[in-house]
Amino acid sequence: MTNKTIIVTGGTKGIGKSIVLEFLKQKAQVIAVYSKDDISAQKMKDDLSESDRNRFFLYKGSIEDVDFLRNFFKDIEAKFGKLNVLINNAGINKDGLFLDMEEDDWNSVMATNLKGTLNMSLFASEIMKKSTGPSHIINISSISGVFGRAGQANYACSKGAIIGMTKLLAKKFAEYSIFVNAIVPGLIRTDMMEDMPEEKIEEISNATILKRFGEPEEVAKTALFLVSGDFSYVSGTCIKVDGGYSK
């Protein structure tokens, strides 16, 4: 990954942070995009070694905001001249049942999780198309998008749609050697778990073959696996990192 340029959205917390740290470990240049929490972003940067800090770049903005993205990608191309990997990790949840769902909650989750992922992919592809070698887009979905969870109506729909979009973008970008895949995490130890009842966490954990939840680092290593040169015949694929979850 030396001298490769990587963008990770939602890159200062949870899974996104672990992905950033994994690629920094591999000597890549990593750009983390975040939307709100300046304190977490700055702390993450401060905690890096000097060598890693010199290859780490922070950008604050919303992936729903097309004007921000236009300026962001213009700056990325001017500064780095290329883009090798985009990892669409940013996502929000505002859980609820279909019948109880507020329209604003539905719209905001869809706008960030689905439209934001599409926005990033389309803008990124314009730089990737100019590359002479292969490029990669990885979308972070969720087992909620595969099995559906009644209490996550909007989140489950957005993550399920990301799987479909992954397959479509893989076809669309194949001629440019842009590989598009999805990672489907199960229950991963992140801040999002804080809002889940203990009995729900236990229920999901017990529904896995491994009888435990996953670590963000395990998702990060899967992302690294997908962009390594040894896997040049993998596109339009969804890889579950869920401990063998079976509803």
DSSP states along 22-61: HHHHTT-EEEEEESS-HHHHHHHHHTS-HHHHTTEEEEE-
DSSP letter string, 80-106: HS---EEEE-------B-GGG--HHHH
Q: Provide the residue type at 21 as one letter.
A: L
Q: What is the mean pLDDT of the chain?
A: 93
Q: Are 34 and 20 in contact (CB under 8 A)?
A: no
**Nearest partner of 241 among 227, 220, 152, judged by Cα:** 220
Q: Are 33 and 59 in contact (CB under 8 A)?
A: yes
The two beta strands, 5-9 and 238-241, are unpaired
**Nearest partner of 89 among 194, 192, 230, 213, judged by Cα:** 192
Domains of the chain: 5-241 (3.40.50.720)
Give the chain's count of helices (H) and strands (E).
10, 7
Would you state the structure tokens that stand for residue 10, as one six-digit string? 């939602």
* pLDDT beyond 90 at 119: yes
94 confidence band (pLDDT: 50, 70, 90): confident
Per-residue pLDDT reduced to its tens digit, 197-226: 788 788 888 999 999 999 999 999 999 999
**Judging by beta carbons within 10 Å of its beta carbon (0-12, 13-18, 19+), is residue 58 exposed, middle or buried?**
middle
Higher pLDDT, 153 or 87: 87
Catalytic residue numbers read 155
- Tell me how far CA of residue 159 lies from CA of 120, 164, 177, 203, in angstroms: 16, 9, 25, 21
Element (H, E) at 203: helix 198-206
Per-residue pLDDT reduced to its tens digit, 1-24: 888 999 999 999 999 999 999 999
Give the pTM: 0.94
Query: Average pLDDT in the 221-245 region?
Result: 92
Q: How far apart, in whole angstroms, are the C-alpha atoms of residue 129 and residue 203?
A: 44
Would you state the structure tokens that stand for residue 107, as one six-digit string? 């719209």
Q: Are 142 and 185 in contact (CB under 8 A)?
A: yes
Q: In sequence order, what are the residues at sequence separation of 6 or more whose Cβ sits closer than 8 angstroms to the Cβ of residue 160?
A: 141, 144, 145, 146, 148
Per-residue pLDDT reduced to its tens digit, 132-190: 899 999 999 999 899 887 778 899 999 999 999 999 999 999 999 999 999 999 999 88
